[in-house]
Amino acid sequence: MNNDFLVFDHVTKRFGALTAVDDVSLTVGKGEFFSLLGPSGCGKTTLLRMLGGFERPDSGRIYLEGRDITDLPPDRRRVHTVFQNYALFPTMTVWDNIAFALKLAKTPKEEIEERVDSMLEMVQLSDQAWKYPNQLSGGQKQRVAIARALVDRPQVLLLDEPLAALDLKLRQHMLIELDAIHDQVGITFLYVTHDQGEAMSLSDRIAVVNKGRIEQLDAPPKIYEAPASRFVASFIGDTNFFCGEIVSIDGDYCNIEVEGFPQIRAFNDKQLKVGQRVDLSVRPEKIRVTSTPPLPEKGASINVFPSKVKDIVYQGVYTKYWLQSGSLQVSALKPHSRFLLDQETITWNDEVFVWWHPDDGYMVEVK
Amino acid sequence: MNNPLRSKKAEWVVTTPSFLWLAFFFAVPAVIVLAFTFHGHDASGGVGDWSLSTWRELVDPDYPAIVWNTLRISFEVTVWSILLALPCAYAIARMNARWRGIVAGAIMLPFWTSFVVRVFAWKTMLHPDGWLQACYLGWLNVRAWLFGWLPGFLQEFLLWAGFAAPGAVDPASSTILDSETAVVLVSVYSFLPFAIMPIYSAAEKFDFSLLEAARDLGAKNFYAFRRIFIPGIRQGIVSAILMVFIPAVGSYVIPQMLGGTNCVLIGNKIFMRAIQNRNIPHASALATLMAVAVLVPIGIAMLWKRRQDARDKRRLDEQTAKLAVGGGGR
């Protein structure tokens, strides 16, 4: 993979007093499915618009295949966007919408027909070619927008929250289709979303953006399991934070003193020393909830805390618990891999044990 | 509310007043005007008995030229108004709400003054000693120069249709007052708000991200404007054309005050027949002719639209049929 295919080099963009993009540098490889993930207003869309040519950075350069494209107008870049609202041309048929870029490029007529037809086939809309956009469903419009942007084989396809306007079922279906289309065309996809689920399931790599800066750039499992900051840990999925001071070191492990809570044992992967303060993140699904404590031979070193069940949400696949543990609230997620009706049930106000292995906590921030 | 009979009744209650208004103040007068044309007239200015004499007397050697000039000038006024209104409406639609209000208010401001007073003000501005006269001579020269560059057949066509006059520009005899140019200029001035407003209200609803999408796919700014914006506000343009063309055809005050004897339109003729000659049936016949002249192009436009829709539907049907024949399973 050529890693210098698309390069943002110290790019900054301000709107008045607001710094939308703050000194961002990143590289995207050729053919990669790359996501910009962050809350609304974090600057991810501004990054996308600068690549599309709709905004010009105040400083920094953008390179595409070694060429500086920072000052090129949108029509001189081989970069196409799938807009959030699709932006299909309402006065043109589906066929004419898809043919738009090819007609502009003065492609020969036979080639236009061939390529538009093959695009229609790819997005399974051959029978809708002569309809107008307002005669299509949301999912169909979405597919037309993708076909229109891919028909002249751009260097990069930008997708700006493309699934946000679809309902849940359709969104899941389109996720699979998008993935298939990416595999088929092999074009670099740059995907902007605030939905961590979409980003996780599609991306080769994700850049988590917050307040105009990249908080973390990694493959999805690393983003989830080893978040680089409190923000990343809480934005991607749920987590429990335990903030405290390291009181003792025991080989690769350390003990953390958390106010209003027994000492927590954790893997000391950041090689911290006694006296340093740290934020430990433990994901709910890594925390077990049982009515009896775990067997002692499982290791005296695991974290076990007596707790009281405050709230339960049963979801079929799993149950989510909120527990009072010492003076802290802990959330835990119990997947149901066995037939649930045969199991003993935990209910409100039960005295239970929450426990997790020291390796399952992750130190996100050192103070 | 779910009772269809009741909602039908409510619909009637709501629409009846406007229906009655139209019936009394539009349909009935129109029928009366039409009926007058089948009457003769008497010497005292009254309407005579039923007869076809009015239609028979309508042959006047001047009329074809006057009708043609009226349509040609209305066409010119419409074209200029639309060309000016398009960028105006586009700019207003892209402004923020505050400026939109201010500019839209400024466009409406002239309506606070009487139309006749405004046209009279133009009479002063177009005085032969004024600067507009100088501009006019310059414009005539530019027009003559441009005309010289056109291919011969086009020159002949423009001369034949009356859009251009042969010969060199004579500064002494070319005054902007009492010229066709004055009529076109002031008509455009008067009707421009009627062109801007419908186009603006269509442009306001236009999704400007479509222009970005076009740019994104490789279109230059002007191409996106032409291919995406203009078709997108088509409805507004059509109503703007009607809003300008129809009053322009019926225009009477402007040619009367600024056109002199060089620009007599059908509106002036109707006035002359009705008030000076006291021949109401004859004036009615001219008015009927004028209405037909306006209705014909609208009818053609509607037919064209219907044909377009039919074409789209046919294409869709053909496509569906083709897919059904070519093995339905995919």
Query: Any idea what the CATH number is for the domain that residue A203 is in?
Result: 3.40.50.300
| The one-letter amino acid at B258 | L
Q: Determine contact, residues A283/A234, Cβ cutoff 8 Å.
A: no
Model pLDDT, residue B1: 46
Residue A244 shares a structural domain with residue A218? no
Residue B188 shares a structural domain with residue B267? yes
Asked whether residue B84 is assigned to any structural domain, the reply reads: yes
Domain limits at A113? 6-235
Q: How many CB atoms lie within 10 A of CB B316?
A: 18
Q: Determine contact, residues A266/A363, Cβ cutoff 8 Å.
A: yes
Q: Tokens 């920072």 map to which residue?
A: A70
Q: Determine contact, residues B234/B308, Cβ cutoff 8 Å.
A: no
User: Which of A216, A235, A254 represents a domain boundary (last residue)?
Assistant: A235
Asked whether residue B14 is assigned to any structural domain, the reply reads: yes
pLDDT at A113 over 90: yes
Task: State the Cα angle at A193 between A189 and A196, rounded to 5°.
Answer: 110
Instruction: Say if the Cβ atoms of B323 and A127 lie within 8 Å.
Output: yes
Nearest-CA distance B175 → chain A (Å): 46
Cα B181 to Cα A266: distance, rounded to the nearest angstrom: 90
By Cβ distance, the residue of A75, A131, A148 closest to B219 is A75
Q: Determine contact, residues B258/B122, Cβ cutoff 8 Å.
A: yes
Asked whether residue B120 is assigned to any structural domain, the reply reads: yes
Residue B227 shares a structural domain with residue B268? yes
Which among B206, B211, B216, B234 is the top mutation candidate for probing chain A, defined by the most A β-carbons within 10 Å of its own β-carbon?
Answer: B216
Residue of chain A whose alpha carbon sits nearest to that of B312: A130
pLDDT, average across residues A137-158: 94
Residue B193 shares a structural domain with residue B256? yes
The Cα diameter of chain A in Å comes to: 76
Q: How many CB pairs under 8 A join A and B?
A: 73
What are the CA-CA distances from residue B122 to residues A9, B119, B187, B189 (Å)?
61, 5, 11, 10
Query: Looking at the complex, does the CB of residue A134 fall below 8 Å from at least one CB of chain B?
Result: no
Asked whether residue B260 is assigned to any structural domain, the reply reads: yes
What are the CA-CA distances from residue B67 to residues A136, A246, B7, B57, B183 (Å)?
48, 98, 47, 16, 16
Q: Determine contact, residues A86/A142, Cβ cutoff 8 Å.
A: yes
Nearest-CA distance A365 → chain B (Å): 41
Number of domains in chain B: 2
Asked whether residue A318 is assigned to any structural domain, the reply reads: yes
Model pLDDT, residue A301: 80
By Cβ distance, the residue of A53, A81, A89 closest to B210 is A89
Model pLDDT, residue A299: 55
Residue B66 shares a structural domain with residue B181? yes
pLDDT at A1 over 50: no
What single-letter DSSP state applies at residue B59? -
Residue of chain B whose alpha carbon sits nearest to that of A55: B212
Residue A191 shares a structural domain with residue A309? no
Residue A258 shares a structural domain with residue A213? no
Residues in B touching A149 (Cβ below 8 Å): 216-217
Asked whether residue B147 is assigned to any structural domain, the reply reads: no
Secondary structure in 3-state letters for chain A:
CCCCCEEEEEEEEEECCEEEEEEEEEEECCCCEEEEECCCCCCHHHHHHHHHCCCCCCEEEEEECCEECCCCCHHHCCEEEECCCCCCCCCCCHHHHHHHHHHHCCCCHHHHHHHHHHHHHHCCCHHHCCCCHHHCCHHHHHHHHHHHHHCCCCCEEEEECCCCCCCHHHHHHHHHHHHHHHHHHCCEEEEEECCHHHHHHHCCEEEEEECCEEEEEECHHHHHHCCCCHHHHHHCCCCEEEEEEEEEEECCEEEEEECCCCCEEEECCCCCCCCCEEEEEECHHHCEEECCCCCHHHCCCCEEEEEEEEEEEECCCEEEEEEEECCEEEEEEEECCCCHHHCCCCCCCCEEEEEECHHHEEEEEEC
Nearest-CA distance A74 → chain B (Å): 5
CA atoms within 13 A on the CB side of A186: 1
pLDDT at A249 over 60: yes
Residue B108 shares a structural domain with residue B197? yes
Asked whether residue B210 is assigned to any structural domain, the reply reads: yes
Residue B68 shares a structural domain with residue B184? yes
Residue A204 shares a structural domain with residue A62? yes
Asked whether residue A1 is assigned to any structural domain, the reply reads: no
Query: Looking at the complex, does the CB of residue A74 fall below 8 Å from at least one CB of chain B?
Result: yes
Cα B279 to Cα B41: distance, rounded to the nearest angstrom: 6
Residue A227 shares a structural domain with residue A264? no
Residues in B touching A53 (Cβ below 8 Å): 215-216
Model pLDDT, residue A38: 94
Model pLDDT, residue B311: 85
pLDDT, average across residues A183-208: 94
Residue A138 shares a structural domain with residue A287? no
Residue B67 shares a structural domain with residue B117? yes
| CA-based R_g, chain B, Å | 25
By Cβ distance, the residue of A89, A91, A101 closest to B218 is A101
Selection from A42, A55, A30, A101 nearest residue A235 by Cα: A42
Asked whether residue B172 is assigned to any structural domain, the reply reads: no
| The one-letter amino acid at A163 | L
Number of domains in chain A: 2
pLDDT band at A365; cut points 50, 70, 90: confident
Residue A103 shares a structural domain with residue A156? yes
Q: Determine contact, residues A34/A203, Cβ cutoff 8 Å.
A: yes
Instruction: Say if the Cβ atoms of A104 and B315 lie within 8 Å.
Output: no
Q: List the 137-196 stretch of A: residues with Cβ below 8 A of B.
A: 148-149, 152
Asked whether residue A156 is assigned to any structural domain, the reply reads: yes
By Cβ distance, the residue of A54, A124, A130 closest to B316 is A130
Residues in B touching A54 (Cβ below 8 Å): 212, 215-216
Counting as low any pLDDT under 70, the low residues of chain B are: 1-6, 323-330
Residue B93 shares a structural domain with residue B198? yes
User: Which of A190, A209, A235 represents a domain boundary (last residue)?
Assistant: A235
Paired residues of A37 in beta bridges: A193, A208
Residue B31 shares a structural domain with residue B66? no
Residue A83 shares a structural domain with residue A222? yes
Residue A194 shares a structural domain with residue A256? no
Q: Determine contact, residues A95/A116, Cβ cutoff 8 Å.
A: yes
Instruction: Say if the Cβ atoms of A74 and B216 lie within 8 Å.
Output: yes
Nearest-CA distance B177 → chain A (Å): 44
Give A63-109 pLDDT, tens digit per residue.
999 999 999 999 999 999 999 999 999 999 999 999 999 999 999 99
Instruction: Say if the Cβ atoms of B217 and A100 lie within 8 Å.
Output: yes
In order, the DSSP letters of B233-255 are: THHHHHHHHHHHHHHHHT--HHI
CATH assignment at residue A318: 2.40.50.100
By Cβ distance, the residue of A74, A87, A149 closest to B210 is A87
Residues in A touching B202 (Cβ below 8 Å): none
Domain limits at B25? 1-36
CATH assignment at residue B238: 1.10.3720.10
Residue B18 shares a structural domain with residue B85? no
pLDDT band at A170; cut points 50, 70, 90: confident
pTM: 0.81
Residues in B touching A87 (Cβ below 8 Å): 207, 209-210, 212-213
Residue A218 shares a structural domain with residue A256? no
Asked whether residue A68 is assigned to any structural domain, the reply reads: yes
Asked whether residue A85 is assigned to any structural domain, the reply reads: yes
Residue A123 shares a structural domain with residue A264? no
Residue A203 shares a structural domain with residue A262? no
Asked whether residue B132 is assigned to any structural domain, the reply reads: no
Model pLDDT, residue A294: 84
